[in-house]
C-alpha cells in the first residue's frame, strides 16, 4: 500500500520536474554566453533606419573597426554631421510648414525628443547652435551589446582587413530596430569559423586564420 503511494508521488514529481526543465531548457546556456541580449539604449537609435533604409555604411560611424582593435561608437559630433540639419521626421516638418502657412508665420524648428538628447549631450542650443549656458556637455552612455570576456582579445582590424562582413558576427544589424546579440560569441563559435575560412577563404580570398590560443588569449 505505502509502496504504491510512494510510487505515485515519485512519478508525479518526476513528470512535473521534467516539464519544468523542458520549458526552461531553451533558456539554459553556459555562463558568460548572452545570445539574444538586447539591452535598451539611452537613445532609441534605429540601425534598421540608418544602416538599412538609408544605407549608411557601417564604417562611417564605427570608423575604428578598420584601424583599431575596437570598432568604437561614433562621437556625438559624428551624429551631428547629419543631424545638424535633420532634426525630426520629414512628415513632422511638412505638417509644421503647412500649419505655419495657414497661420502665416515662420515655421518653427522642430526637434524630435530623441534627437534633442544629442543637443543636450553636446550642451548646445539647437536653434542658435551655440553652447547653451544652462547645459553642461556630458557624453552618452550607450550599453555595450557584444561583450567578450576580459581574457579574450578580439581585434576588429584583422577581420575588417580580411573582408569579413560585419554581419558575420553581429548578425543582420541593418534589420534591427534595437541591436541584439545574434551569435553565441563562444570560443567554439570563433574557432569553428576560423577553421572553416581556412578551407573556404573569405570572399574568394585565401586567408590564414590562426587557431593558436594566443591569437585571442594573452
Q: Residue 23 or residue 104: which is nearer to other proteins going by CB?
A: 23
Applying CB under 8 A, does 148 fall inside the site for other proteins? yes
Pick from 47, 50, 51, 76: which binds other proteins (CB under 8 A)?
Answer: 76
The span from the first CA to the last CA of the chain, in angstroms, equals 65
Contact 189, 183 (CB under 8 A): yes
Q: Which of 200, 92, 15, 108 is nearest to 208 (CA)?
A: 200
Q: List the beta bridge partners of residue 124.
A: 131
Q: Residue 105 or residue 141: which is nearer to other proteins going by CB?
A: 141
Applying CB under 8 A, does 60 fall inside the site for other proteins? no
SS3 202: strand
Alpha-carbon gap, residue 76 to 25, rounded angstroms: 42
Cell reading at 147: 561583450
Applying CB under 8 A, does 137 fall inside the site for other proteins? yes
Applying CB under 8 A, does 87 fall inside the site for other proteins? no
Contact 71, 178 (CB under 8 A): no
Size of the site for other proteins (CB under 8 A): 65
Q: How far is the CB of 192 from other proteins (least distance, A)?
A: 6
Q: How far is the CB of 31 from other proteins (least distance, A)?
A: 3
Pick from 56, 110, 111, 140: which binds other proteins (CB under 8 A)?
Answer: 140
Q: Residue 2 or residue 102: which is nearer to other proteins going by CB?
A: 2
Contact 204, 178 (CB under 8 A): no
- The span of 93-101, 103-111, 141-149, 165-173 binding other proteins (CB under 8 A) equals 141-149
Contact 160, 65 (CB under 8 A): yes
Q: Residue 78 or residue 88: which is nearer to other proteins going by CB?
A: 78
What Å distances lie between residue 4 and 9, 15, 85, CA to CA? 9, 16, 78
Supply angle C-alpha 146, 151, 157, rounded to 5: 60
Alpha-carbon gap, residue 70 to 74, rounded angstroms: 11
- The span of 87-95, 105-113, 158-166, 167-175 binding other proteins (CB under 8 A) equals 158-166
Q: Residue 89 or residue 196: which is nearer to other proteins going by CB?
A: 196
Contacts to other proteins by CB under 8 A: 24, 27-34, 37, 39, 63-64, 66-70, 72-78, 121-122, 137-144, 147-151, 153, 155, 157-158, 161-162, 181, 184, 186-192, 195, 208, 210-215, 217-218
Amino acid at each position: 500500500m505505502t509502496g504504491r503511494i510512494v510510487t505515485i508521488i515519485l512519478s508525479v514529481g518526476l513528470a512535473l520536474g521534467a516539464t519544468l526543465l523542458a520549458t526552461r531548457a531553451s533558456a539554459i546556456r553556459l555562463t558568460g554566453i548572452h545570445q539574444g541580449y538586447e539591452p535598451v539604449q539611452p537613445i532609441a537609435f534605429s540601425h534598421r533606419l540608418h544602416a538599412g533604409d538609408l544605407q549608411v555604411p557601417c564604417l562611417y560611424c564605427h570608423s575604428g573597426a578598420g584601424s583599431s582593435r575596437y570598432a568604437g561608437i561614433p562621437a556625438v559630433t559624428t551624429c551631428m554631421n547629419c543631424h545638424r540639419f535633420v532634426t525630426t521626421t520629414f512628415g513632422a516638418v511638412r505638417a509644421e510648414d503647412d500649419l505655419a502657412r495657414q497661420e502665416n508665420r515662420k515655421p518653427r524648428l522642430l526637434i524630435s525628443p530623441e534627437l534633442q538628447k544629442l543637443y543636450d549631450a553636446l550642451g548646445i542650443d539647437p536653434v542658435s547652435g551655440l553652447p547653451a549656458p544652462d547645459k553642461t556637455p556630458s557624453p552618452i552612455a550607450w550599453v555595450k551589446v557584444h561583450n567578450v570576456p576580459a581574457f579574450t582579445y578580439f581585434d576588429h582590424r584583422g577581420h575588417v582587413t580580411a573582408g569579413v562582413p560585419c554581419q558575420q558576427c553581429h548578425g543582420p544589424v541593418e534589420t534591427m530596430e534595437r541591436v541584439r546579440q545574434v551569435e553565441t560569441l563562444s570560443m567554439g563559435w570563433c574557432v569553428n569559423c576560423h577553421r572553416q575560412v581556412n578551407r573556404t577563404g573569405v570572399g574568394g580570398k585565401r586567408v590564414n586564420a590562426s587557431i593558436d590560443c594566443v591569437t585571442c588569449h594573452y
